Structure formats: structure tokens, C-alpha cells
Structure 1
Amino acid sequence: MPETSPRDLRLLPKAHLHLHFEESIRQTTLDEFALELGRPTPRMTDFTSFIEFDELCQAAVDVMRTPAHLIRMVGEMAEDAAAQGCVWIEPAVWLPLHRSFIGADEQTLEILIDASTTATARTGVGIGWILAINRNESPADAVVQARIAARWEGRGVVGLGLHNDESRFPAADFVDAFAVIDGTGLLRTPHAGELAGPDSVRASIELLGANRIQHGIRAIEDPAVVELVQRRGVCLDVCPTSNVVLESVPSLADHPLPALVEAGVAVSLNADDPVNFGCDILTEYELARDAFGFGPEILANFARTSLMASAAPQDTRDLGLPAIEAWLEGARA
């Protein structure tokens, strides 16, 4: 079977489902923002632990101070997504990060959604926002974020996420927040199975009703959890480079992605925090091909799964899914 080239993978339509908004910033743009303020530029790859990583991300947010900054970031995020072959992206944002400089949470959200409309018109990349709950904050704040997500359903918000250290703040703490979106069509996309084991994945599915799990790779440690993921039709939004850099796995050779694929689990490929890990969704697809040896059929299935597990509107799917099949036919030729 002929190998695909990087250009081929760029032409493979895909959705990016695990992408943190602030960490989607270009390093050059971050440099400019810091220069405007006369502050040192955060070097986003300079960390050796999850705690240092989290602190560095906060330092980056500290130079994102104006609506113009956020608008530019949304536009560049869409440009980069288009260049990487994305037709749909679901960036995640914890709105309180921007209270100090931008204002109230829904003011920030309105800026992001208005910027998304402009960016989509210019690039053709659809954007649906995941509003995040921060595990480090109180359950009461989690309910506030869930209520905002519910109010903005159908106006640019497509899901509710749950971020930060699952090993210290388990899913059970956030049942009330996720209950707020009962009866809505919002996706439930908690992080799990990254810093904690398969029980975290199970709890996210059974207690929070997860449609997708951000990461989820440690599900492989318990066959019963793998079976649960399959039975519930949950997609794992996997980020191989992130998992190695943050030491969720020792190396790519130890990564469970091949085992998850072999087990028939639904998987999407994602970059997580591009500016921190020096990757993007295109390089993750290239990694899947070059390091894991996946052929065109599996690569196309990652892309197909990403669209099917997303909140992309039907017209985006109607265009994207046949284009994936056309790409696959070309790869087979």
C-alpha cells in the first residue's frame, strides 16, 4: 500500500476536538503581546512538570489583555486549522481566566463567538466552543459555568468540559454542575484517564454522562472500562505528543493508541496545547502514520470519527464525510 505524504494528510478533512484556546496561540503572537506590555515573553515549552506547565499557561494568559488580543487569537486559530486540513474545531475555554482584563464571563464569551463568526466566514473553518469547568475551583463556580453553557447553547457553545488535575478533583465533585445541562443538546467532554487511571474514565461516563473523554488513554488498563467506552459509544480525544511531554506515558513506544485502535475504541487525534508541545493536529496525524505505522484506512477513520463525534452541523458533515472517503480512495490508488 503506498505511503501517504504530509500534503496528503493536510488534504484529509478533519475536526479538532481537544484544543485549549489560550494554548492555541502562536508563539510569535504571544511574543508581540508581551512586547506591547514590556514584559518577558513566556517560553511556552519551558516546563518539567504538570504544575510548571499550568503556571506557564497562566503566565501566557496574563499578556492576553484586550478584546483585540482575543479576536486576533481566534482568527489565527482558524487560519492555522484551515492550513492543517480542519473543517471544524471545538476550542475549550475557562472563561474566568479573562475576568481580570476583559470583564464578565459572558462578555468574554460574546467576544469569542463574534470573532468566530468572522473567522469562519474568512477561513471556512466552523467553530463551536466548549465551556470548561476548572477542577481547581469550587463546585459552585462549576455550576456557574454550566449555566452559562446552557444559556449559550445554539449561539456558539456546543459543550461543557472539565479541566485540570483529575487525580485531586474527581468527577464525583462535579455531578451537580453537569446536571445543569440535562435536557440540552450540549456535549459532555471531561478530561479523564490522563493523570488518573481507568476509574476516572468510568466515573466520567457513569456520573457525568460523558459523550467524549479528553485523553482517556488509561482506560486501556481495565478491559471492563474499555468495554464501557465501546458500549456507550464514547470517543476518546487522544493527544499522543501531549501524553509523552506531560509523562502520562514514558514514550511513544509505550503509548496505548495502537491498543485502543485494536480494541475498536472510537478515537480522534488532537494537539491539546500546540504552543506548549510544539505540535498541531497535522503533525499528530503525521505521528500516527510515521511513529505508529497507521495506514490510510485508520487515518481516515480518525478523521471520520472526529467529525461524527463533534457538534459540527449537518452541512459540515455532509461535505466533510464524502471528502474523507474521496481522500481514502485517492490514497488507495
Structure 2
Amino acid sequence: MEATTCNGSLDGSPVFYLVGIPSLPETFFLPVFFIFLLFYLLILMGNVLILVAVVGEPSLHKPMYFFLINLSTLDILFTTTTVPKMLSLFLLGDHFLSFPACLLQMYLFQSFTCSEAFILVVMAYDRYVAICRPLHYPVHMTPQTNAVLAACAWLTALLLPIPAAVKTSQMAYNNIARIYHCFCDHLALVQASCSDTMPQTLMGFCIAMVVSFLPLLLVLLSYAHILASVLRISSREGRSKAFSTCSSHLLVVGTYYSSIAVAYVAYRADLPLDFHIMGNVAYAILTPILNPLIYTLRNKDVKAAITKITCLKTQS
């Protein structure tokens, strides 16, 4: 799809120049590259380890861990959409992205962001059924139901960003448009245009509300019911056991929405552009790197499965 240039002609697709972090001196590019590379490798190793552990351990073939597989897959795809280009930017000075590549990166980043929010909602629903309706859990959370819930989360997330991507592709840009970011974020792409940015900014805000506040509301609603059910349990041991099954998911939800809050505050507050960029970068890296840590440190079953696999590999 071709984009109209600012002079109104159709001279071919524009090329986007990723500025990166504007005030960062080039002497710091290499240290930043190694930091991002380390984070990326930790994300890949941590999430692949969870995937291998859950798939390879029969005792983890349960709905909760099926959704955890989806979450780990999302974290790998989410970071792979943005981080390799950032590494190329800081190591090789590769600032340029073609028009289709930039739009694809923006679309995938938005899609995987939406998918993660919806998967967290599905995981909250799983915990709600397990604690509030334990006798109905095997009936409600069948493999077919789990597959449908996960598929709906993925499909909805793939469809939601399409209008924003289409509208952004129709905006006018200079032949070489400067994007003040480390990757093709929707807002940065809109601000790089010389068209009227108000409709696109409003659309982006509406999509952000749908994929942030609506899932958060559903998660909070699930945990309100869970809390009410747990408080009705008479024994302290029973309450503790019920809460322990939710602790990992609650920490992941807290991390996810905390990173969104950091990115939002960095954008809305009267802060330098660098803080806005770093807020988004932290959002793109923080959750995927913490999720494996949370589930390996807080979840005894996952920790035991990973230890078992590690010991088997060491012995072989």
C-alpha cells in the first residue's frame, strides 16, 4: 500500500528513519546494545524453558499451564517484533525501515499487546472457576473450551489493530520520515506524519482503552469473586492454599499494568521525549523478562518441572 507524500504526490512508499533515543550519545550505543541483548536472551531462554517444561511434564497438562504456554509464546513474539531492530540500530546504526516493514512492526506490536491482555483475562477466568466453582471446573475448563478461549483471545487481538494500521498507512509522510522512537510505535508513527494527527491519536487512545481498561476491569471482577469465595473458607490453611494458586498470575497482572502505567505517565506527563521513549521500551521488555521469573520462582510445579528437565540434561 502506498502512502501519499506531504506534497500530495505518489512518489512511492516513504522510508522511516528511527531516531532511537535522541539525547543518547553514540558512545553509549554499544553498552545499550549489550544491555538489550542480555534482556532479549533472558526473555528467550526463560520463556522457552517454561514451554519445554510445561509440554514435557505430564503433571502440568492442565488448563492453567496451557494458558501459561500461550503467555510465554506471546512474550517471545512480542519482544522479537521490536528488540532485534533495536539491537541492529544500536550496534550497526541501522536506522532505516521500509514503509511496509514499519507498518507490520506497528501492527504486530499492537496485536501482541492486545493478546497478552486478553490471555491474562482468560487466566483470571480459569482461576475464578477453579476457586469459586471447583466442582464444575472439569466440566467448564475442558481442552476444547480452553482452545476456544485462547483462540478468541488471539483472534480478537489480531483484528482490533487493523483499523489503526489501515488509517496510519493512508496518512501523508515525507519521503524520509523521522520517527522519534526505537521502533515503530503507533503514536510515534502518527506524529511523524504531516497529515492531521488528531483522528489517529483519538483512535489509538480508544484502542488503548479497550485493550487496557476493559481487560483490567474483567480481571478485577474475577478476583473480587475469588476474594469473596476465599474469605468464606473457614480454615486458614484452605485460604492460604487458594491464594497461593493465584499469586503468580496476580504478580504477572501487576507487572503488566505497572509497565503500561509507566509508559502512559511518561507520555502524558510534561517530561522530555527520551522519558516517553524509555517508558515504552521498558513496557516492551519488562513484562516478558519478569513473567518467567515469577512463574519459576513462585510456582512450585513449574519450578519442579524445570529442575527435573535440567537434572535429566545434566545426567545425559
- The answer, yes or no, to whether TM exceeds 0.5 is no
User: Between Structure 1 and Structure 2, which shows a larger proportion of helix residues?
Assistant: 2
User: Between Structure 1 and Structure 2, which shows a larger proportion of strand residues?
Assistant: 1
More contact order relative to length (CA 8 Å, sep ≥ 6): 2
TM-score w.r.t. length of structure 1: 0.23
